[in-house]
Structure 1
Amino acid sequence: MTESDLCTRAIAYLKPVEQDSTPAISLSREDSPVFQPFTNDLLVSYVVDAGDRLAFVQHRHLDKERVSVDQLHSMAVSNLQALAEEKLVVRQYGAIYVALMGGNFEASLLTLDVMWTHWYAHLAPDGFVAAAPARDLLAFCDASSVQGLVELRQVVERSWNCDHPLHPHLYRRTGARWQQSSITH
């Protein structure tokens, strides 16, 4: 994989905020991955598919390509949208919907506003609640669906030992933002 134009090929990718604030290793700013806050427990990072792995966009790539963090975010969300337009399938299971897209970017779809405001808005007239307990798992329902909320909690419970975990929370979409949900139905 060449490092040219990494920023233009980046895809928005959610990562958990680590509760342990002691870093395992210390990196210079240039070698540090670019992160932006998404929720109080999730960060948006930016990755490029390198075939056998995902390579993180680092601050040195921004400097080299003269790209701002905001520009990177815009390009990465646009690239995620293009990927979703090509691969995304949403299936209904009981009272919830599950997003399927190949295994790396399902949870990252939370960053894709068009998905929630246009593509699937009709599925949740009372707003969205979603579970994204791992990078490859995104389920959602209408916020008014008591059965949907029960099923989302079951998805979270079944995913406790998954690869690439995020957090075992439900998220509520309020306006254009996702927030950890305190829904207790």
Structure 2
Amino acid sequence: MDLSLEDEEDRYELRITAEDVREAYLLDARRFMQLGLVGEVVFWLALIVGAADGPVRLVAMGAYAGAAIAIAWGVIQVGKASGMRPAQQGLFLLLALAPLVRLIPVAAFIGRNSSVASLWRPPAQTGRSAEAARQRAQTRQQQRAEKSSRRSKPAALEKRQAADELEVFDGQKGVQRVDTQAAVRAMPAAPAKHSVEPAARAVQWPANDMARQQALARLSTALPRIRLIDTEGHADGAQMPPELIMRDLNIPLDGDLSLLDLPVTRATKGAFGVQYMVEDGKRFNAVLASDLADAALSMDELHRMALANLRRLVKGELKLKRANPKEASYRAMRIKLDGSHESSVLLLDDLWDKTFKKHTPNGVVAVMPSRDECTFIDLSALTKGGLADLREAMLQAKRLNGEVVNAILHRQGRHWALAGELDGV
């Protein structure tokens, strides 16, 4: 008789699949990662709020080491769960130990913060560090006190100091800041005079110099503007006579013209009478002869300064485009600048000799109907419809402005010559 209690239905077989192994590895990895996170938190808490004694230092160091080991082991378990080969697991382990690189910024953090650095110093150095920290705190407190005392100066004193300095333009050195009070202090001592209140006596001699510097500052923004087309044979650099200037201004020629304070007008480029405009508020005013005298500038110095300002304007805003882009045969090129000084571009030799040379290899013919219009063509285009293009540009300017300067200009070398007028304008 068989007394065996085994039954086929009571037999169970425990089978461990690859999925079970992977889940077990992942579970271990998660636990080790959690332990590593706890170690990180303990480490940073010990760094930030710990006291400067041995046990806390040991806790911080132990927490960081434990966190690194736990994270490394967790990453290894992830590698096993992923079915990596030993070589791949070794590489993965190197990646797992990468957090140890954080010891570099941690060391820098400790070095910059004395309260944290005390956790990592031996007890013998702690006293000296505390004394150094107290000295640095006292130094910072003194610096803050000095800053607050400087800020508490009366506003009137600051205004007086600002008024003692003035930005001016020197024709040779450019814009400079002048200390008028320093000039007063450098003045040779005058013979003493009896006075009831000597402190109230003001020094008057720098007034003329200050007026000159203010006039220079105003003229430092001057820009050239072509006002006359025919200089009637006057040499370059010459001051145009009053009768030509007044004819341009439509002023009757009565009385002694030498007594008039007229705009400075310089003969330039063989064909132009150039005046100089400064912006006063929202309008441009011409530089007068009296302005030049107040600034103690020569006309040539003013001219060089104005051309330098024009070059800066051109460098930032100059555009060149076809005057009529809808017509492929249209050969005229139109200059666009700021809407006020397009015609002044005729004064810049470097533009015509270099920048525009590729558009006018055979020579330049141009028109400037108004101060804000300048159109030019290559000399060879005159026989290919270019003259009609210039006439159309002139008529368009006339429709916009009502009155135009009807003159054809031909560039010869570095000078311009009046070549005639356009018919039908």
Q: Same fold (TM over 0.5)?
A: yes
Contact persistence 2:269–2:347 (CA under 8 A): no
Does residue 320 of structure 2 align to residue 95 of structure 1? no
User: Is 2:265 the partner of 1:35?
Assistant: yes
Which of structures 1 and 2 has the bigger CA Rg?
2
**Does structure 2 retain, via aligned residues, the 8 Å contact 1:36–1:44?**
yes
In the alignment, the residues of structure 2 paired with residue 144 and residue 162 of structure 1 have an alpha-carbon distance, to the nearest angstrom, of 29
Q: How far apart are residue 165 of structure 1 and its match?
A: 4.7
1:169 aligns with: 407
Tell me what 1:160 maps to: 398
Task: Give the structure 1 partner of residue 344 of structure 2.
Answer: 108
**Structure 2 SS opposite 1:45:** strand
**Is residue 23 from structure 1 mapped to residue 235 from structure 2 by the alignment?**
no
TM-score (normalizing by structure 2): 0.39
Q: Which runs of 5+ in 1 are unaligned?
A: none
Choose the corresponding residue for 1:118, options 354, 374, 377.
354
**1:53 maps onto 2:283 in alignment:** yes
Question: Once the two structures are aligned, what percentage of the paired residues are identical?
Answer: 26
In the alignment, the residues of structure 1 paired with residue 316 and residue 402 of structure 2 have an alpha-carbon distance, to the nearest angstrom, of 23
Instruction: Tell me how far apart the structure 2 counterparts of residues 128 and 110 of structure 1 sit (CA, whole Å).
Output: 11
Cα root mean square deviation, aligned: 2.8
What's the secondary structure of 1:31's corresponding residue?
Answer: coil
- Report what 1:127 is aligned to: 363
Structure 2 Cα separation of the partners of residues 134 and 50 of structure 1: 22
Question: Normalising to structure 1: TM-score of the pair?
Answer: 0.85
Contact 1:29 1:59 (C-alpha < 8 Å) held by counterparts: no
Q: Which has the higher strand share?
A: 1
1:145 aligned residue: 381
Within 1, Cα distance between the matches of 2:260 and 2:308? 24
The residue number in structure 2 matching 1:44 is 274
Is residue 134–residue 167 contact of structure 1 (8 Å, CA) maintained in 2? yes
Deviation at 1:40, TM superposition (A): 7.5
CA distance in 1, matches of 2:309, 2:414: 19
How far the C-alpha of 1:3 sits from its partner, in A, is 4.4
| AA aligned opposite 2:377 | C
- Choose which of 418, 421, 425 in structure 2 pairs with 1:180: 418
| Conservation of the 8 A alpha-carbon contact between 2:334 and 2:374 | yes
Q: Give 3-state SS (helix, strand or coil) of 1:167's partner.
A: coil
Match of 1:84 among 300, 305, 314: 314
Higher fraction of helix: 2
Aligned residues of 1:10 and 1:76 also touching (Cα < 8 A): yes
Question: Which ranges of structure 2 fall in alignment gaps of 5 or more residues?
Answer: 1-213, 230-243, 324-329
Tell me, in whole angstroms, the C-alpha distance in 2 between the residues paired with 1:33 and 1:58: 4
| Alignment deviations for residues 151-176 of structure 1 (CA, whole Å, 9 cap, x no partner) | 01221123235438551111010011
Give the letter aligned to residue 171 of structure 1.
Answer: L
